[in-house]
With several copies, the nearest count.
Chain A
Amino acid sequence: MASVVDATCITLTFPAGPEHIRLARLVASGLVAQLDYGLDDVEDLRIAVDELCALVVAHAQNNSTLTVSFELRDDVITVRAAAPSAHPEKEIEADELSRLILLAAADEHLLSQNQGDVVGWLRKQPAMAAE
C-alpha cells in the first residue's frame, strides 16, 4: 500500500449539520486504516477532519449539503469540505480554538469563500512516514 502512485478519491456528502460529521471522521479513519498511519496520526486526522467540517457547517446555508472529498496520494491525504455559504460576501476565519487545533493536527489548512461556497481544505501526512 505504501507505493500507490495515482490518487484515490473518496467523496462523502450529507446534510450540512452537526449530527453527521461523525460520518466524515469514520471515513477518514477507515481510509487510512490500512496505511502507515500510527494511532496518533489517525487521531490527528480525525480531529482535523472534524474541525474542518464543523467550520464549514457553521457557515453553511440551512438545509444545504456538505461535500467532503478525500484524496489519498501515497500516504498524504488532502481533505476538502464545501457547502453553499450562508453569507458569501463576508470574510470568514476559523475561531482561535479551531485554528490552534488545525495547526497542531494537520500539516496545512485553509478556509475561504469561493463562488458562493464556504470551503475548507487540509493536508495531512503521517508523522512517521519513513517507519
Chain B
Amino acid sequence: MTDESGAFGLTRAVEGTTATLSLSGELDTSAARNVDRAVDELVAAGAKSLVIDLGEISFIDSSGLRSLIRARQQLGDGTDAVHLRNPQPGTMRLLEITGLQDQFRLV
C-alpha cells in the first residue's frame, strides 16, 4: 500500500545554519504547500543554506519545481543556498525539460 498510495512525507534536520529537508512520495500541488511552509519555518529559525533530499520522491510536478525555486528565493537566491540531493531519473528529467537543472546545485 505504501507504494501504491505514494503519500507525501517530509522530515527536517538542522545543523548550525544548514538545514536538511528530506522529502518522500509524491510532491504535487497538495504536497508543495507543506514544503513551502517547512522552508519558511527553517528560514525563520535562522537557516542560511538548505539541502533538499529528493531521493525518495516518486513523483514531482511543476508545483514541486516551483517550491524548489521558491526555497532558493527565500534563502536569498544565491547559487549555493539550495542543494538538491539525489534526484531520481524522473525528477532529473523534469528539471531538464524545464531548463532548471543548471539553476540548482545537485549533490
Contact = CB atoms under 8 A, between A and B. Distances in A.
Interface size class of B (residues with CB under 8 A): 20 to 34
A33 B26 CA distance: 13
A29 B4 contact: yes
A47 interface: yes
B5 A100 contact: no
Main secondary structure of the interface of A (DSSP, over half): helix
A22 B30 contact: yes
B5 A43 contact: no
Interface in A53-98: 54, 57, 95-98
B6 interface: yes
Contacts of A116: none
A50 B64 CA distance: 12
B26 A98 contact: no
A46 B59 contact: yes
A contact residues, range: 20 to 34
Given A18-B29, A34-B7, A54-B29, A101 B97 contact: yes
B1 A42 contact: yes
Given A21-B28, A54-B62, A57-B29, A101 B1 contact: no
Given A33-B1, A33-B5, A18 B30 contact: yes
A95 B62 contact: yes
A97 B59 CA distance: 16
B61 A33 contact: no
13 contacts: A19-B30, A22-B28, A25-B26, A25-B28, A33-B6, A51-B61, A51-B62, A54-B28, A54-B29, A98-B62, A100-B98, A101-B98, A105-B97
Interface of A: 18-19, 21-22, 25, 29-30, 33-34, 39, 42-43, 46-47, 50-51, 54, 57, 95-98, 100-101, 104-105
Q: Top 3 closest A-B pairs, CB basis?
A: A33-B5, A18-B29, A97-B62
Given A54-B28, A96-B98, 18 more contacts: A18-B30, A18-B33, A19-B30, A22-B6, A29-B4, A30-B4, A30-B5, A33-B1, A33-B6, A39-B1, A50-B28, A51-B62, A95-B62, A100-B97, A100-B99, A101-B94, A101-B98, A104-B97
